[in-house]
Amino acid sequence: MSLKIGVEIDHDLCTGHGRCYDLAPSVFTDDERGYGQVLISIVGPELTGEARTAAGACPERAILLKRLAADES
Amino acid sequence: MASENPESDVAPVGMLDPSMASCPHAGYGQLREFKQGVSRMPLVNVPMITRYEDVMWALRHTEIFSSEMSEELALGNERPMIPQQIDPPAQARYRRLLDPLFSRRRSLQLEPDVRRQANVLIDKFIDNGECEFNRSFAIPLPGSVFLNLFGLPFEDLELFLEMKDGIIRPHAKTQDHEEMVKVRKHAGQSLIEYFEKELDSREGKTPSDDLLDAFRSFEIDGEKLSRNDILDICYLILIAGLDTVTATLGCDIAFLAANPAHRNRIVEDPELIPAAIEELFRWETPVAVVPRKLKQDVTVGGVEMKKGEMVTLLLGAANLDDRQFSHADEVDFGRERNRHIAFGGGPHRCLGSHLARMEMRVAMEEWHRRIPNYQIKEGETPTYSTGIREVQYLPLVWSGTR
């Protein structure tokens, strides 16, 4: 069974550093203000590395990753 | 208990020691590991917060750690600089207008111009085999980006640099405190007068797509921004946009000149440049200190501080905190989880961060493509300034250009 991860941005914490869409452009994009937006809210194994890199680089810790059980995806 | 014996909170090193400018890493470590990472500057008694978690917490809590303009935070300006010297929630209304103008998307549109300008500068000195980096490259590049953004003539660069230096570095002109205040005030007034004249000349004309015309079109609650609001935004962008990129270029190139193994990695693999820039933001943190004024009593790291006190947040020390960063005292271009706060954090996160990152990337790409093999001129020592860590004198020599 392949691992899937749920991806969210806590917009109360995000202040627009833009690290997520710079480092993980397949998972996040930028909005008009330069704030991050989630492109793919459930990522499969091919993108979990990218999603984790982005979450690890966010100074505001605004990116929430959640391991999903197989039936949730 | 610490506050009953303030002597015991006195910092082991002063931020104004010359060693803190050129090589602050050891000093940051001493301050971070002193008691619980909060100490008071010798003589002036201003508390310094140095650990990553504490600095981040302070940056987020603007209701305690205020960035609002006060006498201590004025830089020759008579009204608050917008949006930096206004706290949320009022600040957010300006950020909503300004953020799109400084987004990554907008910054990327400027990339071809920045690349062209970088090469125009390099063309001027590349055949000499040497240059003084600050004067030849690090100062004029961000200056030209600024003038381009504002739709102002390139011939005014010298004038802008003089006004900017009068405001940021009046101590370069005089040692006398009262004189310094005068130099700063005069430079601030010249800047306001310059923009007043420019705005007057645009009355009734068709707006262009530059920043100044964008500010003129801004509305809050259906009302156009006042002339003063526009001037106060211009003031901030000049103060914040020129010195910071100049300082970062100098710090990074000085590091790479002295560390050829690191330099060779990005010369051989230019795709590594964005990660290298981020790591050097962390390592060098050119905007090393951020001042705040307390709106409430607060205790951080066992040090009690009172409402009305000035406080200093040491971004530079926080960025080297091994509680946050693994192998924090090594420069690692492959670093993962680089949550550095060289652009601050919380609601006042640097408005120009996306523009600055683009300028840095393009400058580093073009410099290393054309001048891959450079070093500090033999017998010379770069000199750094305190406050914003600018390498004010950086003589370079090179061979094997392209």
CB of B227 within 8 Å of a chain A CB? The answer is no
Task: Indicate if the pLDDT at residue A19 is higher than 70.
Answer: yes
What pLDDT shows up at residue B3?
A: 46
Q: Which of B137, B183, B200 is nearest to B359 (CA)?
A: B137
CB of B341 within 8 Å of a chain A CB? The answer is yes
- Between CA B102 and CA B324, with CA A14 as vertex, the angle to 5 degrees is 110
What pLDDT shows up at residue B69?
A: 85
- Three-state DSSP at B111 gives helix
User: B363 lies in a domain?
Assistant: yes
**Pairing state of beta strands B47-49 and B310-314?**
parallel
What pLDDT shows up at residue B252?
A: 98
Q: Which of A34, A24, A10, A33 is nearest to A57 (CA)?
A: A24
Farthest CA pair distance, chain A: 39
B338/A57 CB distance under 8 A? yes
**Pairing state of beta strands A63-68 and B310-314?**
unpaired
What is the mean pLDDT of the segment spanning A17-41? 97
Task: Indicate if the pLDDT at residue A2 is higher than 80.
Answer: no
A53 CB neighbours in chain B (<8 A) are: 336
Domain span at residue B227 reads 7-399
Write out residues 27-66 of A within 8 Å (CB-CB) of B. Answer: 30, 32-35, 53, 56-61
Give the burial class of B335: count Cβ atoms within 10 A of its Cβ; 0-12 exposed, 13-18 middle, 19 or more buried.
buried
Name the residue of chain A whose CA is nearest to B352's CA: A17
Other C-beta atoms lying within 10 Å of the C-beta of residue A37: 13
Contact A70, A1 (CB under 8 A): yes
CATH number reported for the structural domain that contains residue B36 in this entry? 1.10.630.10
CB of A25 within 8 Å of a chain B CB? The answer is no
Of B99, B339, B341, the CB nearest to A16: B99
State the smallest CA–CA distance between residue A66 and chain B in angstroms: 18
A21/B104 CB distance under 8 A? yes
A17/B274 CB distance under 8 A? no
Of A34, A35, A59, the CB nearest to B345: A59
Q: What average pLDDT does chain B have? A: 94
A53/B99 CB distance under 8 A? no
Give the number of domains in chain B.
1
A34/B105 CB distance under 8 A? yes
Task: Indicate if the pLDDT at residue A7 is higher than 70.
Answer: yes
The pTM is what?
Answer: 0.95
CB of B96 within 8 Å of a chain A CB? The answer is yes
User: B2 lies in a domain?
Assistant: no
User: B370 lies in a domain?
Assistant: yes
Q: Is the ipTM of this complex over 0.90?
A: yes
Name the residue of chain A whose CA is nearest to B318's CA: A59
Write the CB contacts of B332 (distance below 8 Å, at least 6 apart in sequence).
Answer: B279
Name the residue of chain A whose CA is nearest to B101's CA: A33
Q: Is residue A72 very low, low, confident or very high in pLDDT (cuts 50, 70, 90)?
A: low
What pLDDT shows up at residue B76?
A: 82
A32 CB neighbours in chain B (<8 A) are: 100, 103, 105
B340 CB neighbours in chain A (<8 A) are: 59
State the smallest CA–CA distance between residue B219 and chain A in angstroms: 16
Name the residue of chain B whose CA is nearest to A49's CA: B336
CB of A22 within 8 Å of a chain B CB? The answer is yes
End-to-end CA distance of chain A: 12
What pLDDT shows up at residue A73?
A: 47
User: B1 lies in a domain?
Assistant: no
User: B159 lies in a domain?
Assistant: yes
Tokens 């590091």 sit on residue: B255
Interface residue of B56, B103, B358 to substitute, partner A, most A CBs within 10 Å: B103
| Pairwise CA distance, residues B110 & B124, whole Å | 22
The reply to whether omega before B372 is within 30° of 0 (cis) is no
| Pairwise CA distance, residues A63 & B13, whole Å | 37
B349 CB neighbours in chain A (<8 A) are: 15-17
| Pairwise CA distance, residues B204 & B189, whole Å | 25
Low-confidence residues in chain B, pLDDT < 70? 1-7
Q: Which of A67, A55, A48 is nearest to A6 (CA)?
A: A67
A34/B338 CB distance under 8 A? no
Q: Which of B38, B64, B42, B46 is nearest to B300 (CA)?
A: B38
User: B375 lies in a domain?
Assistant: yes
| Pairwise CA distance, residues B211 & A12, whole Å | 28
User: B203 lies in a domain?
Assistant: yes
Tokens 């002597």 sit on residue: B7
What pLDDT shows up at residue B21?
A: 83
User: B230 lies in a domain?
Assistant: yes
Name the residue of chain B whose CA is nearest to A58's CA: B339
Q: Position B281: which residue type?
A: F
The domains found in chain A, sorted by start residue, are 4-67 (3.30.70.20)
Q: Which of B268, B265, B288 is nearest to B335 (CA)?
A: B265
Backbone angles phi, psi at B309, to 5 degrees: -75, 150
DSSP secondary structure string, B115-170? HHHHHHHHHHHGGGTEEEHIIIIITHHHHHHHHHHHT--GGGHHHHHHHHHHHH-G
